[in-house]
Amino acid sequence: QVFHAGGAKALRSITFRTMTFISLGSFMPLLMIGLFAEDVFTIFFGPAWAMAGRMAQVLSILYFARLTVETVASVLRVIGKQRSYVWFHGLLFALRASAAGLSIYYKLDIIQAIMLYAIADAIGRLTLTGQIIASLNRMAAQEPNTGSES
């Protein structure tokens, strides 16, 4: 048996604390990148780098979702939900391919295409977050009450 008494609740607690810590720790730096990267790139690297700064702004959405979710996604392996992780990657592929297809079909410029990609990726990662939370809550609810809450 992988878990000791109260293990599912402890795993849920650790996972939520980790997600919260990483979310709060990465929010302000990525918000600053999202708001000011184009200006910072232009000031420090010159006007030729303005587009790279704009890309960094758009990608800050993607990296916030990645930092928050991927750091705790391994919990799915611990609780035996590898199939969910495989399905997640299938969904992520479909969302990314759809974003690429829509970008080509509507002839979006590079910034719009990257934004669509970032939003599609973030939606996929939010779906994985929901799966992780639901799985941990189900496990904790099924665990017999040991009298010690974590």
Burial class (CB in 10 A: 0-12, 13-18, 19+), 90: exposed
Burial class (CB in 10 A: 0-12, 13-18, 19+), 5: middle
Tell me the residue ranges of DSSP E strands in 8-86.
Answer: none
CB atoms within 10 A of CB 33: 19
SS3 106: coil
Written as tens digits, the pLDDT of the chain (150 aa) is 455 667 888 889 999 999 999 999 999 999 999 999 999 999 999 999 999 999 999 999 999 999 999 888 888 888 888 898 899 999 999 999 999 999 999 999 999 999 999 999 999 999 999 999 999 999 889 887 755 554
Token code pair at residue 59: 């990608």
